[in-house]
Amino acid sequence: MTVAAGALAAGLVALGGSGGERPAASYRPADYSKAADTGMGSQIAAHEGVHGSPAAAKARLALSDQTLGHDVSGHQGAVDWKKAAATGAKFAYVKATEGTGFISGQYRQQYDGAHSAGIIRGAYHFARPDVSGGAAQANYFINNGGGWRKDGKTLPGALDVEYNPYGDACYGMSPAAMTAWIKDFTKTYLARTGRSSLIYTSTSWWQRCTGNNGGFGNTNPLWLARYAPAIGPLPAGWDKQSIWQFANAGSLPGDQNYYNGPIGRVEALARG
């Protein structure tokens, strides 16, 4: 379901109001023409490529204490969750929203379907710093499925910050402005849900668009995107990743991920 952005976005911008927000008049007209197919990592492969064999990463990590999962968006359509669980999925993240004007039409089937199949699930938000403020987008995300419940089966929400599918890689923002935007999103999410959101990004994008800001490592778990046999360097501030998105295709629908620890750690993250 796509929601008309105009008045809704303008009203939600007012929910932000912190130092990282910019006047609503300075935001660009919202374009959600790609939102149904834009998901986590959709821009990573296009900008950074796939290096080596992702299967090598899976084979190596399968021997260590890692937990297999995946993430999906509307691009995957209706997911066969029983098959995903049988294939080894232990956790899954589902795209819920983008900006302040798009809700995934597949969200309910994917989010509830994962839960019904016994997979620990969570929701993520595709950041659009070009259309509205960070606090406004956190509120929109929470109001449309991105919250958290203490049921032991729901993971805290994730903020997907990556290359802009509609134009300039950094959404026309300076590193300082981008950092402030992310801070407004994460602070708002924490205040409303009592949980810190994960931050999904790549090291290259983070270096380029935040100036490699090191201020989130102690507050927000890292979800790293890199399609290669090895993780490589992490963004500043983090000494480990919580999740590694190691491939954009594989045995599970959507992107392939490993949680950095056994299933008990995933369950602990869900419980809070």
Q: CA-CA-CA-CA torsion for 100, 101, 106, 111, nearest 10 degrees?
A: 20
At 205-239, the pLDDT tens digits run: 999 999 999 999 999 999 999 998 889 999 999 99
Instruction: Please report how the helices 6-13 and 134-141 are oriented relative to each other, as an axis angle in degrees rounded to 10.
Output: 110
Instruction: Please report how the helices 175-193 and 203-210 are oriented relative to each other, as an axis angle in degrees rounded to 10.
Output: 110
pLDDT of residue 145: 96
Amino acid (one-letter) located at 65: D
Provide the terminal-to-terminal Cα distance of the chain, rounded to the nearest Å.
30
Out of 21, 48, 162, 255, which one is annotated catalytic?
162
At 138-193, the pLDDT tens digits run: 999 999 999 999 999 999 999 999 999 999 999 999 999 999 999 999 999 999 99
Out of 21, 48, 98, 160, which one is annotated catalytic?
160
Out of 21, 48, 71, 98, which one is annotated catalytic?
71
CATH code: domain 6-271 is 3.20.20.80
Catalytic residue flag (residue 112): no
What's the whole-model pTM score?
0.89
Contact 169, 209 (CB under 8 A): yes
Catalytic residue flag (residue 160): yes
pLDDT of residue 9: 36
Contact 159, 200 (CB under 8 A): yes
31/8 Cα distance (integer angstroms): 14
